[in-house]
Chain A
Amino acid sequence: MSAAASRGAAAALFTLLVFALWQVAVDSGLVSRVFVAAPLSAFEVMIERAANGSLWTTTGATALRLFAGWVAAVAIAMMIGTAIGNFRAAYEYLAPTLEFFRPLPASAVIPVAVLFLGLTAKMSTAVIAFGALWPVLLSAMHGFANVPRELREVAATLEMSRARYILTVAIPSASVDIMAGLRISLSLALILTVVTEMQASLPGIGYEIFAAQRTFRSADLYAGLMTLGIFGFLINQALLLSERRLMRWRAA
């Protein structure tokens, strides 16, 4: 068995152990079933939802909302990050204002977003974009600021235009930092997607969890949490896989 396969098997075993302990804790009465559903009960609900199709529609709704906000966040962050990282004037004009907005928790911005955009999908996208852009922006800024001197000298020697330098030297050099920022940003985007779904009663996994809590259906609630956990794991793995493919040239 290869090292990677061994690691995967060990991780799967650990996960099974955690679920087994959880099941025993509920079955033995150590924790109340009313507030903590057994994992098997939660899985049963997930299977039922998969069979009747609601699992796919709610996950699809959350995924669409997440990606709409995240893509907007990445686009905005890359534009501003590229400007600040490569143009002194942009840094001097924009950085102080950005430092004011950066520490604002995205969830604290929700009431303002509701006022302007109502309890709508637009509000959700705006909040997700606002919260998720900072990790990408900061990592892009850091990546551009740390382009190795040798590469900058080569670009200057070759009399590259600013645009060519950004596209062929700066962005590839900063890509490691940017990818790290993208992963953090994606996790934040998922959190904000769920929060805004609960806040605005928008269809999705967040709303399902919220509705389950309101009707005291603990198995449904934990099924929602598990769905969220699996979804988050899968999208993170997808991003890691994309990173390995896009950054293959680095290993070479």
Chain B
Amino acid sequence: MIVRTVLASLAAGCALVTSASASNVKVNIGYVTAADYMPAFASKENGCFAANGIEASFTRIPVTTNMPAALVSDTLQVGAQTATLFLPAVENGIDLVAVAGGTRILQGNETLSLVTSTKFEVKRGADLIGKKVGVPGLNSVADVVFRKWLKNEGVEIAKVTIIETPFPQMKDLIKSGQIDGAIAVEPVRSMIVNEGVGRRAAVEYHTAVSKDSILAFWTAGRKWAEKNPQTVAAFRKCLTEAVGWIDANRDRAREIEKQYLGFNTPVRPDWNVEIKDEDFALYIDLNVELGVMRKRLEAKNLVWNQR
């Protein structure tokens, strides 16, 4: 009798564990090396994801352009994106949606800037004529907004040589004179300036184009989002809570940042989980103006909303 009771309890316990695991949704999250995605890392490490049914794993992706293919093939369920890459993917038939915001770039707290060799100073666009500038990716948000700024400054874009330069190479290429400047994100920007290799431009090109715009955000395949609405809602909830958690637990947050990114960023990005269709209007205009997109997409149905 006792043996039967013990065995029955064990079986019930196993069933509970199994059903709890079965209700957890496996979400493989792709990210690139930037502090913009800290709230997601924190949500895993502080247990929020697990407590809300998300069995999260992270995959570092070297280039954001690979994110859409990874989402469509279901290698990743959620992936980090920026608007200038997300929008052309949607334009060309890849059915992705934004599921949560990541960061915004605000005037006064720019997390990416133009840095140049110490041999010259940039106060306006014309100072870059004939120079070589590295951007972290072709058609990245850094590249597109930079080109828009040059255009606004009356500079013919063809007179500035724009070269794709991965973040880790920027410092060495500026130091050796192979490039004259680069659009660098933190902490690469601080490394270049603090080591005396370069200086920040006197003008912040991104916020000269827009004082407040989305920078990084999270995306998923639309079909996956429609199949997992609770998971999307839980993902957003955890990220929102994580922003406050990071500010309240700075030391632990720095450990997590080091664990996922390999470095600590000196600047706190403007994390913001809220995202709306209208946030994409600026980038739709920029992409069309600069030939990154051929069709002017409507800023509608780009953000997945739980109905």
| A residues apposed to B, CB below 8 Å | 32-35, 114-115, 118-119, 200-201, 210-211, 213-218
Q: How far is the CA of A33 from the CA of B95 in the complex (A)?
A: 12
**B69 interfacial contact with A, CB 8 Å:** yes
Q: Which residues of A are found within 8 Å of B226, using beta-carbon distances? A: none
Please provide the chain B residues from 144 to 163 with a CB less than 8 Å away from any CB of chain A in the complex: 162-163
**B138 interfacial contact with A, CB 8 Å:** yes
How far in angstroms is the closest Cβ of chain B from A124?
A: 13
Determine if B92 and A213 form an interchain contact, defined as CB atoms under 8 angstroms apart.
no
Closest A residue to B89 by beta carbon equals: A216
Given contacts A114-B178, A119-B163, contact A215 B139 (CB under 8 A): yes
Q: Which residues of B are found within 8 Å of A33, using beta-carbon distances? A: 93
Given contacts A34-B72, A216-B88, contact A118 B137 (CB under 8 A): no
**B25 interfacial contact with A, CB 8 Å:** no
Q: Which residues of A are found within 8 Å of B72, using beta-carbon distances? A: 32, 34-35
**B249 interfacial contact with A, CB 8 Å:** no
Determine if A216 and B68 form an interchain contact, defined as CB atoms under 8 angstroms apart.
yes
Max chain A Cβ within 10 angstroms of own Cβ: one of B88, B139, B163, B177 = B163
**B46 interfacial contact with A, CB 8 Å:** no
Q: How far is the CA of A18 from the CA of B72 in the complex (A)?
A: 27
Q: Contact size class for B?
A: 20 to 34
Determine if A210 and B138 form an interchain contact, defined as CB atoms under 8 angstroms apart.
yes
With A35-B72, A119-B173, A213-B65 known, 12 other A-B pairs at CB within 8 A are A34-B72, A118-B176, A118-B178, A119-B163, A201-B164, A211-B139, A214-B65, A214-B85, A215-B139, A215-B292, A216-B92, A217-B88
Q: How far is the CA of A119 from the CA of B162 in the complex (A)?
A: 11
How far in angstroms is the closest Cβ of chain B from A99?
A: 31
**B94 interfacial contact with A, CB 8 Å:** yes
Which residue from B139, B164, B176 sits with its C-beta under 8 Å from A115? B176
7 nearest interchain CB pairs? A118-B178, A216-B92, A34-B93, A215-B88, A214-B138, A216-B89, A214-B139
Q: Which residues of B are found within 8 Å of A211, using beta-carbon distances? A: 138-139
Q: How far is the CA of A119 from the CA of B173 in the complex (A)?
A: 10
Determine if A119 and B88 form an interchain contact, defined as CB atoms under 8 angstroms apart.
no
Q: Which residues of B are found within 8 Å of A201, using beta-carbon distances? A: 138, 162-164
Given contacts A34-B92, A34-B94, A200-B163, contact A214 B137 (CB under 8 A): yes
Q: Which residues of B are found within 8 Å of A210, using beta-carbon distances? A: 138
Closest B residue to A118 by beta carbon equals: B178
Some 12 contacts from A to B, beta carbons below 8 A apart, are A32-B72, A34-B72, A34-B92, A115-B172, A115-B176, A118-B176, A119-B163, A201-B138, A201-B163, A211-B139, A214-B139, A216-B89
Q: Which residues of B are found within 8 Å of A119, using beta-carbon distances? A: 132, 163, 165, 173, 178-179
Closest A residue to B177 by beta carbon equals: A118
Q: Which residues of A are found within 8 Å of B138, using beta-carbon distances? A: 201, 210-211, 214
How far in angstroms is the closest Cβ of chain A from B102?
A: 20
Q: How far is the CA of A129 from the CA of B89 in the complex (A)?
A: 37
Determine if A216 and B94 form an interchain contact, defined as CB atoms under 8 angstroms apart.
yes
Closest B residue to A111 by beta carbon equals: B169
Q: How far is the CA of A215 from the CA of B162 in the complex (A)?
A: 17
How far in angstroms is the closest Cβ of chain B from A219?
A: 9
Closest A residue to B69 by beta carbon equals: A35
Determine if B178 and A217 form an interchain contact, defined as CB atoms under 8 angstroms apart.
no
Given contacts A115-B176, A201-B162, A201-B164, contact A218 B92 (CB under 8 A): yes
How far in angstroms is the closest Cβ of chain B from A214?
A: 5
Q: How far is the CA of A35 from the CA of B71 in the complex (A)?
A: 13
Max chain A Cβ within 10 angstroms of own Cβ: one of B69, B89, B92 = B92
Q: How far is the CA of A54 from the CA of B240 in the complex (A)?
A: 48
Please provide the chain B residues from 81 to 100 with a CB less than 8 Å away from any CB of chain A in the complex: 85, 88-89, 91-94
Q: How far is the CA of A215 from the CA of B140 in the complex (A)?
A: 10
Q: How far is the CA of A43 from the CA of B130 in the complex (A)?
A: 36
